[in-house]
Amino acid sequence: MSSFSRKMLLKYVRLRRVYIKLFFAVSILLFIILVFFLNFDIDEQLKHNKQELSTNLSAMYEIQLKDYENRIIPHLGENGDPAYLEGSDAKEGEKALKKIALNSVLSDRIPLNRRLRDPRNKKCRLFSYDPKLQASIIVIFYNEQFSVILRTVWSSILQTPKHLLKEIILVDDGSTESSLHGLLDHYLATRLSDHPVKLVRIPKRVGLIRARLEGARKAVGDVLIFLDAHCETTVGWAEPLLQRIEEDRTVVLVPLIDVIEADTFAYSTDGESSFQVGGFSWSGHFTWIDVQPSEVEAKKAVKPVRSPTMAGGLFAINRKFFWEIGSYDEQMDGWGGENLEMSFRIWQCGGRLETIPCSRVGHIFRAFHPYTFPDNKDTHGINTARLAHVWMDSYKRFFFMHQPSLENNPIVGDLTHRKQLRQKLRCKDFKWYLDNIYPEKFVPDENVQAYGQARTPFDMCLDDLQLPEDRAGPLGLYQCHPRLEISQFFSMSARGELRKENVCAEVFNDRDVQLTECHGHRREQYWILYRNGTIHHPSSGKCLSNENVSMSHGLKVDTCRETVYQRWKFDHVNMTAVLV
């Protein structure tokens, strides 16, 4: 081949390579452009489909809502009167009551914006209020009934003057009920868009403590008012709360909580004359107690009444103060204990807890919790162990006597932050709290004549026979446990009661000895402990005896005489208090 033709061939081969490269480059470019447009088209298509889906969903929710609204019976339950359904609805209602402790069938028929009677004491009208602070109402819920939540919202809108209502924040604690998703969103968007109602969703259930915290973080009003999701507020409920917090930013307030019956939705105002405030039991439970002697006058005048603790579901607090005083213990899980933690903390760290009798809110008290907790964890017990370690100093001994398995249990978690908080806020100790805020609280081993196990010469001990807290039952006898356990922890109080926490030994028919609620000065509950171990009951003239008593039956009083059956030996006796 000539050199010329070789050159041509080489040039041709090179050119062909360039063309091939060019071809590939252009093809790739075209491919990319194609993919881009196709994608664009798919995106457009998706967007379009989404819009269509949401229009269809909206239409579906609207049909569901209309259907629901059409079934509402006008004026049912008006004024808070009891409401009833008939026929199969009534039966369904009963079933619901058994299943979720609330008549949801009836709730769905009662107007969401029903009117309630003004439940307030007439004297409340003498007060005038003009608060400047605005409220953020926080309502947390987990699988509550759609209509019950919305009645809480509607009553808050209708009963709170507009200029005092900053917002209502609904916090969904990971509910799984389908009606609380799209349908609720749709309701808020179409029925409540003119009102400042916000909905915060927590994707996975975190328990009521962290749910309330989430709501508080979102809130911007001056005062946080927490409500359970099954409440109805009544006329004039918000003003006294806001006004009092305006006067003193460190008070934490509880309205007078009325009962809305879970079966008829009747708003009951019976509680007013006998309204109570919050106490606690050494087992770590919230209890209702009579208004303290120092507060009886305030109660009569329907003025703020001091309360040692609060129930926890309904309360108002200055938003900034809520954060300053330590909000909540975020490591508390599930349900329970947070109310006592907050109560002790508020008092010990410089705040005040009060019940405001002129602020009235109804709450549905359910006979049981319609929900369970993951792994059946005793969150109330664990949370209470946390607060006992942080706030109760040595008095935590009583709680751990009720729950010995929690005393040194790692399940209780790390407490460093809460202990630091107590130091930072320079909080007072629990003894101060008991002495000054709750002096009526019976401390089983303080200021008593004797306490501990009360033993017979046959190694048998006084025993409450596992009597449930605050129930009446026989005072029994059982083999002494090797360690002091709560069922055998008895005290002879300074005023001569043979008692446990809230139950006292009382003689019936001059014979049978029962543990019943302590009444303070009842003659039948008065005993004298003698140095020789006799326990004398002056009102019957007899002595506590264990003669012919079978192990788990009630004790009796018998004619006093020199016998081993009438000798009792307490673990600890204050000889100076026992006179004779």
Q: Does 369 bind ligand UDP (CB under 6 A)?
A: yes
* Structure tokens belonging to residue 380: 């109330």
Closest CA to 438 of 548, 558, 578, 310: 310
Looking at the Cβ atoms of 334 and 452, the one nearer to ligand UDP is 334
Question: Taking the complex as a whole, how short is the minimal distance between the CB of residue 337 and Mn ion, in angstroms?
Answer: 15
Q: Which residue in the set 108, 173, 239, 341 belongs to the binding site for ligand UDP (CB under 6 A)?
A: 173
Q: For ligand UDP, which stretch binds (CB under 6 A), given 54-62, 141-149, 380-388, 480-488?
A: 141-149
Rounded CA-CA distance 425/335 in Å is 26
Report the 10 Å Cβ neighbour count for 320: 12
> 202 in helix, strand or coil?
strand
Are the beta carbons of 103 and 97 closer than 8 angstroms?
Answer: yes
Q: Which residue in the set 80, 109, 138, 144 belongs to the binding site for ligand UDP (CB under 6 A)?
A: 144
Total residues binding ligand UDP (CB under 6 A): 17
Q: For ligand UDP, which stretch binds (CB under 6 A), given 116-124, 366-374, 417-425, 429-437?
A: 366-374
Q: Does 216 bind ligand UDP (CB under 6 A)?
A: no
Looking at the Cβ atoms of 131 and 313, the one nearer to Mn ion is 313
Report the 10 Å Cβ neighbour count for 142: 22
Q: Which residue in the set 207, 279, 452, 474 belongs to the binding site for ligand UDP (CB under 6 A)?
A: 207
Rounded CA-CA distance 469/447 in Å is 23
Q: Does 338 bind Mn ion (CB under 5 A)?
A: no
Q: Considering only residues 144-203, where is the footprint of Mn ion by CB under 5 A?
A: none
Rounded CA-CA distance 536/558 in Å is 10
Q: Does 232 bind ligand UDP (CB under 6 A)?
A: no
Dihedral class, residue 465 (left if φ above 0, else alpha if ψ from -120 to 50, else beta): left
Rounded CA-CA distance 197/187 in Å is 11
Question: Taking the complex as a whole, how short is the minimal distance between the CB of residue 152 and Mn ion, in angstroms?
Answer: 10
Are the beta carbons of 463 and 418 closer than 8 angstroms?
Answer: no
Q: Does 211 bind ligand UDP (CB under 6 A)?
A: yes
In the list ligand UDP, Mn ion, none, the entry touching 133 (Cβ below 5 to 8 angstroms by class) is: none
Name the residue with tokens 């309502």: 139
Looking at the Cβ atoms of 228 and 263, the one nearer to Mn ion is 228
Q: For ligand UDP, which stretch binds (CB under 6 A), given 184-192, 204-212, 302-310, 537-545?
A: 204-212
Looking at the Cβ atoms of 228 and 239, the one nearer to Mn ion is 228
Looking at the Cβ atoms of 171 and 461, the one nearer to ligand UDP is 171
**What distances in angstroms separate CA 82 from CA 85, 106, 262, 368, one per listed residue?**
10, 11, 10, 21
Looking at the Cβ atoms of 4 and 368, the one nearer to ligand UDP is 368
Q: For Mn ion, which stretch binds (CB under 5 A), given 172-180, 222-230, 452-460, 504-512?
A: 222-230
Looking at the Cβ atoms of 284 and 313, the one nearer to Mn ion is 313
Rounded CA-CA distance 338/499 in Å is 29
Number of residues written out for the chain: 580
Q: Considering only residues 268-327, where is the footprint of Mn ion by CB under 5 A?
A: 313
Q: Does 229 bind ligand UDP (CB under 6 A)?
A: yes
Rounded CA-CA distance 529/538 in Å is 11
Looking only at the bridges linking them, the beta strands covering 231-233 and 251-260 are unpaired
Question: What's the Rg (C-alpha) of the chain?
Answer: 34
| Angle made by CA atoms 110, 113, 119, in degrees to the nearest 5 | 95
Q: Does 228 bind ligand UDP (CB under 6 A)?
A: yes
In the list Mn ion, ligand UDP, none, the entry touching 151 (Cβ below 5 to 8 angstroms by class) is: none
Cα atoms found within 13 Å of the Cα of residue 484, Cβ hemisphere only:
17
In the list ligand UDP, Mn ion, none, the entry touching 555 (Cβ below 5 to 8 angstroms by class) is: none
> What residues have CB less than 8 Å from 231, skipping those under 6 apart?
139, 152, 155, 260, 313, 314, 361, 362, 363, 364
Q: Does 214 bind ligand UDP (CB under 6 A)?
A: no
Looking at the Cβ atoms of 153 and 529, the one nearer to ligand UDP is 153
Question: Taking the complex as a whole, how short is the minimal distance between the CB of residue 230 and Mn ion, in angstroms?
Answer: 6
Looking at the Cβ atoms of 205 and 389, the one nearer to ligand UDP is 205
Rounded CA-CA distance 118/360 in Å is 9
Q: Which residue in the set 85, 105, 135, 140 belongs to the binding site for ligand UDP (CB under 6 A)?
A: 140
Rounded CA-CA distance 355/343 in Å is 13
Q: Which residue in the set 313, 337, 351, 357 belongs to the binding site for ligand UDP (CB under 6 A)?
A: 313
Q: For ligand UDP, which stretch binds (CB under 6 A), given 68-76, 203-211, 525-533, 550-558?
A: 203-211
Are the beta carbons of 200 and 209 closer than 8 angstroms?
Answer: no
Q: What's CA 234's distance to the chain center, in Å?
A: 21
In the list Mn ion, ligand UDP, none, the entry touching 211 (Cβ below 5 to 8 angstroms by class) is: ligand UDP
Q: Which residue in the set 96, 114, 137, 141 belongs to the binding site for ligand UDP (CB under 6 A)?
A: 141
Looking at the Cβ atoms of 140 and 346, the one nearer to ligand UDP is 140
Closest CA to 136 of 245, 30, 261: 245
Question: Taking the complex as a whole, how short is the minimal distance between the CB of residue 286 and ligand UDP, in angstroms?
Answer: 8
In the list ligand UDP, Mn ion, none, the entry touching 173 (Cβ below 5 to 8 angstroms by class) is: ligand UDP
Q: For ligand UDP, which stretch binds (CB under 6 A), given 78-86, 140-148, 408-416, 527-535?
A: 140-148
Rounded CA-CA distance 340/273 in Å is 25
Are the beta carbons of 336 and 380 closer than 8 angstroms?
Answer: yes
Looking at the Cβ atoms of 244 and 360, the one nearer to ligand UDP is 360
Q: Does 228 bind Mn ion (CB under 5 A)?
A: yes
Dihedral class, residue 491 (left if φ above 0, else alpha if ψ from -120 to 50, else beta): beta
Are the beta carbons of 205 and 92 closer than 8 angstroms?
Answer: no
Question: Taking the complex as a whole, how short is the minimal distance between the CB of residue 101 and ligand UDP, in angstroms?
Answer: 9
The residue ranges that bind ligand UDP (CB under 6 A) are 140-142, 144, 173, 205, 207-208, 211, 228-229, 313, 334-335, 366, 369, 371
The residue ranges that bind Mn ion (CB under 5 A) are 228, 313
